[in-house]
Amino acid sequence: MINLTLFSDLPEVPRECVKSIEKIGNGSFGDVFRGDAWNLPMVGTKRVSVAIKTLKDENNKENQTKFVKEAILMNNFDHPNIVKLLGVCFQDVPHLLIIELMEGGDLLKFLRSCRPMDTAPSQLSLNEIFSIMIDVGRGCAYLEMNKHVHRDLAARNCLITSRSSSMRVTKIADFGLARHMYINEYYRVKGEDFLPLRWLALESAHEGIFTTKSDVWAYGVLCWETITLGDQPYKDKQNSMVLPFLRSGGRLEKPNECPSELYEIISSCWEENPENRPSFSKLLEMIETLHNNPEMRSNHPFPLTQSGYINNGFDASQDSNISQHYHQHHRNQSNDLTGNNGRFDKSDNIKHSGLPSHLRSRNIPNSSNVFSFDRPDSSISANTEITTISGDNLGFSDDYEIPRNSNNQTLSSIISFYAIIFTMTV
């Protein structure tokens, strides 16, 4: 059992007020369930649908630390474009995190399901695409203001409240890799951590350095995913080819039918020098200003035809993955980057064990400092899915790999955590 003496701010919920209904996936620390909860501090007595994350291996102190860290991290966020922590159950085992559940599921799967088919146009308009990018940008600007680095911004790690455009709000989720940033500090990743290769800024891939400006790079890739309705970045390249391509000055190309003004903003996120990338507050201002252009508020299907996006042979049935940590899937059969063979399990069943951690004593930002964005409140409901992503013929997932330096050595660096100074008893 986790001793919560030093964590009295966490919203503890009685176990009898939480009911699991069905398993919806495997998280980093254990199974994830859809369920109901009531008597939640933030919601009141009414019964609401929730996602329930479990801590499977109660004897693993490192996983306990990470589990509590995620709870503390999410508990300090208060923004309409960031998924909320509603409660924890730490008094009994298995330990639980209770999180709002979004009816629309993950953004990547939603985007792919909206692609035009031979018999039907796209289900999204350019106006809606802008709204998605602005929603995520607002959440990112809030994290930037509070000096938090997400480290895994991607469409698969965002959730939507509804498929209906009138009710849809996009929120940032999956803070398993998130870190708190202070001025003049940076974070490196130690040893065997798997990272989102195709979303990584150059300094993150080469040196393991993560800042808000590396999140800006990833946000640019996320915007590219959105405008292409879920295409895979650098789809024509194996993982081993991505970093050399970026080092040589290569970048994601302008998607067909993407407004040139929008691509100019997105591509500014991929400046090699982090200092030359815009801040999230500046990015948000530029995108919102462009969105005010009547041409960008078109409600016609976007793109108009299958040829309007880069990869018109995409299999829309391919699922995305929104769980927390990323590990190699060992397979006997190789496959190409279309990802039709093999599946990728990001649970701790195949995790490399024994990663060291360094605990730093720092204050957590005051969550009362909230950006006041004029957006409707989202409902807590329904039916999010946690699914899988396929791998390539190198034995890694298409999205996650250990970054290596120019000498092909695994990066030597430090996993920095919150100031989690607590005692645990099993």
CATH number of the domain residue 340 falls in: 1.10.510.10
Residue scoring higher pLDDT (186 or 82): 82
Find the mean pLDDT for residues 353-372: 32
pLDDT for the residue numbered 60: 80
Give the H/E segment covering residue 100.
Answer: strand 96-100
Q: Is residue 8 part of a domain?
A: no
pLDDT for the residue numbered 186: 45
Q: Is residue 2 part of a domain?
A: no
Residue 154 and residue 110 in one domain: yes
Residue scoring higher pLDDT (78 or 44): 78
Q: Is residue 1 part of a domain?
A: no
Q: What is the pLDDT of residues 337-361, one digit of tens each?
A: 223 332 223 333 333 333 332 222 3
Q: Is residue 10 part of a domain?
A: no
pLDDT at 398 over 50: no
63 confidence band (pLDDT: 50, 70, 90): confident
Residue 94 and residue 125 in one domain: no
Q: What is the pLDDT of residues 36-60, one digit of tens each?
A: 999 998 888 889 999 998 888 776 8
C-alpha 341/C-alpha 163 separation (Å) is 29
Q: Is residue 408 part of a domain?
A: yes
pLDDT at 88 over 80: yes
Instruction: Please tell me whether the peptide bond between 303 and the residue prior to it is cis, using omega within 30 degrees of 0.
Output: yes
80 confidence band (pLDDT: 50, 70, 90): very high
For the chain, what's the residue count? 426
Q: Is residue 241 part of a domain?
A: yes
105 confidence band (pLDDT: 50, 70, 90): confident
Q: Which of 68, 100, 132 is the last residue of a domain?
A: 100
What is the CA angle 267-370-378, rounded to 5? 80
Instruction: Please tell me whether the peptide bond between 116 and the residue prior to it is cis, using omega within 30 degrees of 0.
Output: no
Q: 105, 159 in Cβ contact below 8 A?
A: yes
Find the mean pLDDT for residues 297-317: 64
pLDDT for the residue numbered 308: 52
Q: Give the bridge partners for 35, in sequence order.
A: 20, 50
Residue 39 and residue 180 in one domain: no
Residue 123 and residue 58 in one domain: no
pLDDT at 414 over 60: no
* E-strand stretches of 90-157: 96-100, 105-106, 148-149
Residue 124 and residue 172 in one domain: yes
pLDDT for the residue numbered 271: 98
In percent, the amount of the chain with pLDDT more than 90 equals 44
CATH number of the domain residue 25 falls in: 3.30.200.20
Q: What is the pLDDT of residues 172-224, one digit of tens each?
A: 988 766 666 544 444 444 454 667 889 999 999 988 899 999 999 999 999 99
Q: 361: which 2 tokens?
A: 């004593």
pLDDT at 297 over 50: yes
C-alpha 74/C-alpha 68 separation (Å) is 10
| Residues noted as catalytic | 152
pLDDT for the residue numbered 32: 82
Q: 149: which 2 tokens?
A: 């680095």
Residue 55 and residue 129 in one domain: no
Q: Which of 65, 100, 135 is the last residue of a domain?
A: 100
pLDDT for the residue numbered 311: 43
C-alpha 126/C-alpha 293 separation (Å) is 12
pLDDT at 102 over 50: yes
Measured in degrees and rounded to the nearest 5, phi and psi for residue 243 equal -65, -45
- Range(s) of the domain holding residue 50: 15-100
pLDDT at 122 over 80: yes
Residue scoring higher pLDDT (148 or 42): 148
Residue scoring higher pLDDT (281 or 362): 281
Question: Which residues contact residue 151 at a Cβ distance below 8 angstroms, ignoring those fewer than 6 apart?
Answer: 177, 178, 179, 187, 195, 204, 210, 214, 215, 218
Residue 279 and residue 231 in one domain: yes
Residue 82 and residue 129 in one domain: no
Residue 361 and residue 307 in one domain: yes
Residue 261 and residue 360 in one domain: yes
Q: Judging by DSSP bridges, how do beta strands 416-417 and 358-359 pair with one another?
A: parallel
Residue-averaged pLDDT of the chain: 74
pLDDT for the residue numbered 64: 85
Residue 182 and residue 51 in one domain: no
pLDDT for the residue numbered 410: 34
Q: Is residue 189 part of a domain?
A: yes
pLDDT for the residue numbered 193: 60
Domain total for the chain?
A: 2
Region of poorest pLDDT, from 90-99, 257-266, 386-395: 386-395
pLDDT at 91 over 70: yes
Q: What is the DSSP letter of 11?
A: -
Q: Is residue 140 part of a domain?
A: yes
pLDDT at 11 over 70: yes
Residue scoring higher pLDDT (391 or 202): 202
Q: Which of 50, 84, 100 is the last residue of a domain?
A: 100
C-alpha 168/C-alpha 135 separation (Å) is 10
3-state secondary structure of 43: coil
Residue 109 and residue 93 in one domain: no
